[in-house]
Structure 1
Amino acid sequence: MLPFFRRKAESQPTGDWWTEAFTPEEHATIEGVFAPLGGGTAESLARSTNPNSLGALAEYLKKEHLRHLGYKLLDRADTLVNENVPVLNLHFYFAVRGGFYYRWRDHDPFALDEAVKSFERQIGLGANVARFFREDKNWGFIPAHAGYRQLRIIEEKRGNWTLARALCEQAKAEGWADDWDHHIGRIDKKLAAMKTQD
C-alpha cells in the first residue's frame, strides 16, 4: 500500500486569512465565478475548516487566468488536513486537489508533482474509504477512484508499467469501480512485449 502522511491536528493560524490572502479585487473575482446551485457565498466556503470545502471552491477557478487563486485556496486547505478531518472529506479533497493540479501540469513546473502527491494521498485512504462506501446505506456501492485511475495513467505515460499494474491490482482488491482486468491485461501485454525486445 502506498503511504499516507498523517499529520496531527494543529492549532489553526490566527488572523483573517481570507482578507490577508486575497485583495478586494480577488474577493470580487472569486465571488463572481462562484455559482453553486444552492446559493451561498465563496467567502463562507473559504472560511471553512474543512479542506474539502476549499477544494470545492477551487474548482470554480479552473480557468488559466484564475488558477493562481485556486492554488492559494488549495494551499490553505492543505493546512487544514489532519487526523480529525473525516476520511470521506479527505478522499474527495485529494481527488479535487489532484485534478486541479493535473490540469495545469503542462503550464506550471510544480503541478504534476503536486497532482501525484494528491493521488497518492487519496490512494493511501483507499481501503478505509472503500469500506465506508460498502457499509454506508446511503452509498451501498464503491464508485470509481480518481487517484487510482489518474495515477495509473501517469505511471503508464512515464513507462512505469509495473507500478501501473500494481495500482490496478490494489484498486481492484479494494473494490473500486473500473475495468481493472482490462487495464491489467493491456499492461501485461506491454510488459510481455518489452521482455521479448530484451
Structure 2
Amino acid sequence: MDILEYYDLKEWWNTALTPAQREQISRDYQPMGYPSEERYLYAKLVGKSYGDTDKCCLLNVLACVAKDDAKGIIRDKTEQAVKEALSQPRRNYIDIHLALDGLIKYHYPLRNDQAHYEKAKELCLLQISISSKLVKKFRYPEKPKELKRLHKLTGMTHPYYDEPQILPSHTGYKQLAIILEKEGDLEGALELSQKALEQGWSDDYEKRITKLTAKLAKRQ
C-alpha cells in the first residue's frame, strides 16, 4: 500500500489527472528527509505511518506542487476532502485550517471570474467558522510523544512547546475583511477585524480598525 492507496486517492489520481500531470507531481513532490531517488507518492507503506497527516493536508501540498490545469483539479479535490474532514467526529483542525488557507489563496487571485470570487468568500467564512478551535492549538502546540518522554526524564523544557506562541496570520479574516471593505460593507469589515484582534491573530488589525472606524465616521 502506498500513500495514495492509504488515503483512498488512487482511483481519483489515475482518472482525474493525465499521465504527464501525474509524472510532474510525483517527480517534484519530495518531502524533506525522503530519498530523492524514490517517488514518495508510490513508496510502499512498510514501517512507515501516514497517520499524522490528513488527506486534505496531503492534497494541499500536491496542489502547491502541481502546475497549470492540474492545480485546479487538485484544489477541487482538496475542498472535497476538507468538507469530508469537517464531517468526521475527530478532526485535525490544523490540517483543515492550512488546507483552507491554500484554497483561499488559489481562488482569490482568480477573482475576476465571479465563481472564483464567490468561492473565495465562502472559504474565508468556512475558515473563520473554525478559528476559535485553532487558537489554543497554535498558541500551545502539541508536544511530540518522544519529546514529552525526554522532558519528563530530564526536566528540560522547550521554548516552542512550553511557552505560549504568537498566533500566525489568518487568511480568512484578513481576506474577507478586505473583500467586504471593497464591497462597501465597512461595518462587516470592522466587525471581522475586531473579532480577529480579540482572538489574537497576527496582522495589523489595530491599524485596519482605525482606518475602518474613520471611514464609517466620514460616511455618517
Structure 1 residues 42 and 55, CA gap change in structure 2 (3 angstroms): farther
Structure 1 residues 57 and 14, CA gap change in structure 2 (3 angstroms): closer
Q: Is the 8 A contact 1:18 1:43 kept in 2?
A: no
User: 1:36-51, aligned counterparts within 5 Å?
Assistant: 38=33, 41=39, 43=41, 50-51=55-56
CA distance in 2, matches of 1:91, 1:172: 18
One-letter amino acid of the counterpart of residue 23, structure 1:
T
**1:21 aligned to which of 16, 20, 25:** 16
TM-score, L = length of structure 1: 0.78
5+ long unaligned stretches in structure 2 = 1-6, 43-52, 142-159
Q: Which residue of 1 aligns with 2:134?
A: 129
CA distance in 1, matches of 2:130, 2:106: 19
5+ long unaligned stretches in structure 1 = 1-11
TM-superposed CA distance for 1:20, in Å, is 1.0
Q: Which residue of 1 aligns with 2:201?
A: 176
Q: Which residue of 2 aligns with 1:5?
A: none
TM-superposed CA distance for 1:161, in Å, is 0.7
TM-superposed CA distance for 1:69, in Å, is 1.4
The CA RMSD measured in Å over matched residues stands at: 2.7
Q: Which residue of 2 aligns with 1:6?
A: none
> Aligned pair 1:54/2:92, yes or no?
no
Helix, strand or coil: the match of 2:114? coil
Q: Is the 8 A contact 1:30 1:42 kept in 2?
A: no
CA distance in 2, matches of 1:49, 1:132: 16
Q: Which residue of 2 aligns with 1:72?
A: 73
Helix, strand or coil: the match of 1:16? helix
TM-superposed CA distance for 1:28, in Å, is 2.4
Aligned length: 178
CA distance in 1, matches of 2:185, 2:131: 21
User: 1:1-198, aligned counterparts within 5 Å?
Assistant: 16-31=11-26, 34=29, 38=33, 41=39, 43=41, 50-61=55-66, 66=68, 68-81=69-82, 82=85, 83=88, 84-106=90-112, 108-136=113-141, 137-138=160-161, 140-195=165-220
TM-superposed CA distance for 1:144, in Å, is 1.4
Structure 1 residues 14 and 111, CA gap change in structure 2 (3 angstroms): closer
Structure 1 residues 13 and 153, CA gap change in structure 2 (3 angstroms): same
TM-superposed CA distance for 1:15, in Å, is 6.5
TM-superposed CA distance for 1:131, in Å, is 1.7
Q: Is the 8 A contact 1:54 1:77 kept in 2?
A: yes
**Larger Cα-atom Rg:** 2
